[in-house]
């Protein structure tokens, strides 16, 4: 596949990012005390992380292919690592620091127990071992960081092997063998589904989609709209039913959804004057929203506990609306103040180092 066949930023993929982070947030809100707000069927949005994995594999491969064609391996490795590091690490570490400071302040002000494992969790995050060390531990402050560990592990292997596999035309067979091995042996015998070796299939499915069909599957738009809506609903509610091999089924459905969305014909959410721009806005900020929303949920719980002690009570519906608004505001602030500046700093860092000219890669 030639890099010049790749189109630029895909708006339908951004909408999918928004959908993924929203159903994860609903899942966390439901299990964080707001279960009465959402129908039981819609409380299984943890599958949004599997959709994120497929999107990540797809996006990173589309970005990497032009670099591989124009750069030697060492230059590719350098640029890839710098871009990923400036994109992911500053925001992730900033929210580790913000959560630790916030927990300390709140514990000092009121009857709020400091999470007992937080002193262990921070080293696990720094050493990229969180998803192997944290499962099964009680009262985790950074439970959602396991997904970052899966992606970081994948990016390390990707940076080292991807150019080699591309140049020797081995990417497709090796990826298929790895996915089949995960489905048949690694996942069934894994003691926890947050382990990287039990959850990388979605990332590889995204890689294969980007390599084989970078501009997606072209369907008549009405057919694509119906297919996308059905797949989105199925991914959202899959864990509500006793489906065998549910994680693998979700990864396959997420792959189909990304394949259709990659055609970018406004089929994920049909062109809408109000909803689509909102989803695009959320999709652009999905990473910051994902990292920051647990802190906002902790804050909401503490604030309303303090209010109830003084005889002030709000309905669960009003609390959910206020919580959602606060999550969006904090996520937007994180994106504007931390994420975007760190990505820009990464570009400046790369521009300051003379290297072989590279045509702009597709935006992420």
Q: For 31-42, how does the pLDDT look when each residue is reduced to its tens digit (9 = 90+)?
A: 888 888 899 999
Q: Give percent above pLDDT 70 in the chain.
A: 93
Average pLDDT, integer, range 170-196: 97
For 274-326, what is each residue's pLDDT tens digit?
Answer: 899 999 999 999 999 999 999 999 888 888 877 887 888 888 899 999 999 99
For 39-52, what is each residue's pLDDT tens digit?
Answer: 999 999 999 999 99
Q: Who's near 230: CB < 8 A, 6+ residues apart?
A: none
Q: Give CA–CA dist 120/125, Å, rounded.
A: 9
| 194 and 234 Cβ atoms separated by less than 8 Å | no
HEC profile of 207-248: HHHHHHCCCCCCCCHHHHHHHHHHHHHHHHHHHHCCCCCHHH
Kindly list the distances between the CA atom of residue 179 and the CA atoms of 202, 245, 246, 250, in Å, as whole numbers in the listed order.
Answer: 9, 13, 15, 14
For 187-203, what is each residue's pLDDT tens digit?
Answer: 999 999 999 999 999 99
Tally DSSP H helices, then E strands, for the chain.
Answer: 14, 0
For the record, the structure tokens of 101 come out as 């400071």
Instruction: Please give the pLDDT value at position 117.
Output: 84
Q: Give CA–CA dist 314/330, Å, rounded.
A: 22
Kindly list the distances between the CA atom of residue 173 and the CA atoms of 178, 204, 252, in Å, as whole numbers in the listed order.
Answer: 9, 11, 17
Name all contacts of 97-102 with Cβ < 8 Å and 24+ positions apart: 98/292, 98/295, 99/141, 99/142, 99/294, 99/295, 99/298, 102/295, 102/298, 102/299
Q: Is 95 exposed, middle or buried (0-12, 13-18, 19+ CB in 10 A)?
A: buried
Q: Which residue has the higher pLDDT, 3 or 214?
A: 214
Residue with tokens 């055609």: 263
Angle CA 120–50–173, to nearest 5:
110
pTM of the model: 0.93
For 16-25, what is each residue's pLDDT tens digit?
Answer: 999 999 999 9
Instruction: Please give the pLDDT value at position 4.
Output: 44
Instruction: Please give the pLDDT value at position 363.
Output: 47
Q: Which of 130-134, 152-156, 219-223, 297-301 has the lowest mean pLDDT?
A: 297-301
For 249-283, what is each residue's pLDDT tens digit?
Answer: 999 999 999 999 999 999 998 767 889 999 999 99
Q: How confident is the model at residue 353 (pLDDT cuts 50, 70, 90)?
A: confident
Q: Give CA–CA dist 160/68, Å, rounded.
A: 12
| 194 and 185 Cβ atoms separated by less than 8 Å | no
Q: How confident is the model at residue 112 (pLDDT cuts 50, 70, 90)?
A: low
Q: Give CA–CA dist 298/115, Å, rounded.
A: 11
Average pLDDT, integer, range 325-351: 97
Q: Which residue has the higher pLDDT, 138 or 277?
A: 277
Q: Which of 56-65, 113-122, 236-245 has the lowest mean pLDDT?
A: 113-122
Instruction: Please give the pLDDT value at position 303.
Output: 84
Q: Which of 256, 23, 287 is nearest to 151 (CA)?
A: 287
Q: Give CA–CA dist 259/211, Å, rounded.
A: 11
Residue with tokens 């790749």: 6
Check pLDDT > 90 for residue 29: yes
Q: Give CA–CA dist 107/162, Å, rounded.
A: 46
Instruction: Please give the pLDDT value at position 113.
Output: 64
Q: Residue 3 carries which DSSP code?
A: G
Check pLDDT > 50 for residue 2: no
């Amino acid at each position: 596949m030639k890099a010049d066949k790749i189109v630029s930023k895909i708006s339908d993929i951004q909408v999918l990012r928004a959908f993924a982070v929203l159903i994860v947030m609903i899942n966390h809100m439901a299990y964080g005390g707001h279960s009465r707000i959402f129908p039981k069927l819609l409380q299984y949005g943890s599958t949004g992380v599997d959709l994120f994995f497929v999107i990540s594999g797809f996006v990173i491969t589309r970005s990497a292919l032009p670099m591989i064609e124009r750069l030697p391996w060492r230059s590719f490795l350098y640029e890839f690592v710098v871009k990923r590091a400036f994109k992911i690490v500053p925001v992730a570490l900033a929210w580790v620091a913000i959560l630790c400071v916030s927990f300390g302040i709140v514990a000092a002000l009121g009857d709020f127990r400091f999470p007992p494992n937080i002193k262990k969790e921070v080293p696990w995050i720094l050493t990229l071992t969180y998803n192997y060390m944290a499962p099964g531990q009680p009262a985790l402050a950074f439970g959602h960081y396991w997904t970052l560990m899966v992606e970081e592990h994948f990016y390390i292997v990707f940076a080292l092997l991807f150019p080699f596999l591309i140049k020797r035309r081995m990417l497709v067979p090796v990826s298929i063998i790895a996915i089949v091995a995960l489905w048949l042996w690694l996942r069934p015998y894994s003691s926890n589904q947050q382990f990287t070796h039990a959850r990388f299939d979605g990332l590889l499915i995204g890689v294969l989609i980007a390599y084989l069909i970078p501009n997606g599957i072209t369907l008549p738009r009405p057919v694509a709209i119906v297919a996308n809506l059905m797949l989105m609903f199925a991914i959202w509610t899959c864990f509500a039913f006793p489906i065998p091999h549910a994680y693998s089924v979700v990864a396959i459905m997420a792959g189909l959804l990304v394949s259709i969305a990659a055609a970018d014909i406004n089929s994920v959410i049909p062109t809408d004057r109000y909803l689509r721009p909102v989803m695009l806005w959320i999709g652009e900020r999905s990473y910051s929203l994902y990292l920051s929303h647990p802190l906002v949920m902790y804050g909401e719980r503490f604030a309303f506990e303090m209010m109830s002690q003084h005889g002030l009570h709000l309905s669960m519906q009003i609390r959910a609306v206020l919580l959602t608004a606060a999550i969006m505001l904090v996520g937007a602030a994180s994106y504007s103040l931390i994420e975007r500046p760190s990505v820009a700093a990464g570009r400046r860092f790369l521009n300051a180092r003379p290297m072989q000219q590279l045509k702009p890669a597709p935006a992420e």
